[in-house]
Amino acid sequence: MQSPSLGTGFYGSYGGRYVSETLIHALDELTEAASCIAATPAFQKELSDLLATYVGRPTPLTDAARLARAIDPERKTLGRLFLKREDLCHTGAHKINNALGQILLATKMRKSRIIAETGAGQHGVATATACALFGLPCEVYMGAEDVKRQAPNVGRMRLLGAKVIPVESGSRTLKDAMNEALRDWVTNVATTHYCIGSAAGPHPYPELVARFQSVIGEEARAQIVERTGQLPDAAVACVGGGSNAIGLFRAFLGDAGVMLYGVEAAGHGVASGRHAATLTAGRVGVLHGSKSYVLCDDGGQIQEAHSISAGLDYPGVGPEHAWLKTSGRARYVSATDDEALAAASLVMRTEGIVPALETSHPFAKIGAIAAEVAERLGRPATVVLCLSGRGDKDLETLLGRLLPSETPGAS
């Protein structure tokens, strides 16, 4: 929250506010609160104290030497690989950075009720946690499909006192949860704050969330400079809605020498049509309040996304990423379900870290990205990767897919 102004809501031609008229006033109020309250030193201090004493920030930067050597044994392309350990945040992912910021802001705005959407359940857990901490009632919309595949997080939300509302419409995943949360918000807008979990949605959400998440990149930048004396050659993160990626990227946007890579979910493969690679294979459209890339057909109907990872299983993406792609500042690639699983296995066995399925996608592309960067530089690259979350919530999928013979009931 450096600058008081929250900007225009546009990143190039992307962004904006494509919502019902009923919500405009609430978005204006939120924009006003974000620039007048969240930007004050008092708010910043309160939030950074919470991040330090409750979340456990700063998170470490881990030198993943064994993984780096497993990916590139001869050190030809990947020199060093550093992991920004958002998995060590309280609740297990970067989502808490944003949830705490928004809930703190909502208390200042005197909102008495919080709603959220969630895919993997990490944002739901983070919001439920922040609501428990501030004593606010919390209701979380979650696609019925995700309720099934992320059961541990559903249990955590309930234990934390939140109400989890399974959404049965459409593809029964994240996009449908967001539709339902928008319906709730438009109905209860006077009392309720809608805590959006990614750098997506109508203005000011993409900017607000990016600012709350930019602590990731600010810390990582300082840490890597302290450790290596230099900036990294590339920064890499997974992109669902894009919040951990933009949180990492923001600190490096002005460093022309740092290449930025977002990794999307290719599901069964981009050519199969069953994927969530919105920036790689989508087109410009309007979904959930902003103009950005979307997966939709020629008639403008939004298509269902497919990914093994619930947090990446979304046919939209935050507008700033659309702009970073268009401007060429960042590049976006994709990893399939199978590639992500193989990468998860490698990370677990070389580094002793169980990554979230979301984060397994950028791990799968480190080799290819390092090769591209090294080729450009003419020397091995130093790469920083945002390890956005831990894989506890994914144990059932990981066990079923990686150790099928030892897992009862796995096919």
Partner 1 sequence: MGRIEEAFARGAAEKRKALVTYLCVGDPDGDASIDLALACADEGADILELGCPFSDPSADGVAIARASQRALGRGGGLDETLRVARAVRERSDVPIVLFGYYNPLFVRGEEEAARVVAAAGVDALLVVDLPVDESMPLRTAAAARGLGLVPLVAPTTLPERVARIGALGERFPVPFVYYVSMTGVTGGAGGSAVLASAGAEAARVRAATKRPTVVGFGIDSGERARIAATEADGVVVGSEIVRRIERGATHGERLASVRELVRELRAAV
Ligand X SMILES: Cc1ncc(COP(=O)(O)O)c(C=O)c1O
Binding site for ligand X (CB under 6 A): 93, 119-120, 122-123, 198, 238-245, 311-312, 356, 358-359, 388-389
Q: Name the one range near partner 1 by CB under 8 A: 81-89, 207-215, 261-269, 299-307.
A: 299-307
198, 214, 360, 388: the catalytic one is: 388
User: Residue number with the shortest CB distance to ligand X?
Assistant: 389
Q: Judged by CB under 8 A, does residue 169 bind partner 1? A: yes
Q: Judged by CB under 8 A, does residue 191 bind partner 1? A: no
Name which position in 18, 107, 354, 368 contacts partner 1 (CB under 8 A).
18
Q: Judged by CB under 8 A, does residue 286 bind partner 1? A: yes
Name which position in 5, 22, 48, 112 contacts partner 1 (CB under 8 A).
22
Nearer Cβ to ligand X, position 106 or 356? 356
Pick one of partner 1, ligand X, none as the site partner of residue 25 (Cβ within 5 to 8 A by kind).
partner 1
Minimum distance from CB of 39 to ligand X (Å)?
22
Alpha carbon distance 181, 200 (integer Å): 14
Q: Judged by CB under 8 A, does residue 19 bind partner 1? A: yes
86, 117, 339, 358: the catalytic one is: 117
Query: With contacts defined by CB under 8 A, how many residues of the chain interact with partner 1?
Result: 39
**Which tokens sit at 166?**
């399974």
Active site residue 95: yes
Active site residue 117: yes
Q: Judged by CB under 8 A, does residue 201 bind partner 1? A: no
35, 84, 86, 95: the catalytic one is: 95
Alpha carbon distance 330, 44 (integer Å): 29
Pick one of ligand X, partner 1, none as the site partner of residue 296 (Cβ within 5 to 8 A by kind).
partner 1
> Longest Cα pair distance anywhere in the chain, in angstroms?
60
Q: Which residues bind partner 1 (CB under 8 A)?
A: 16-26, 169-170, 175-176, 178-179, 182-183, 186-190, 283, 285-289, 291, 294, 296, 298-303
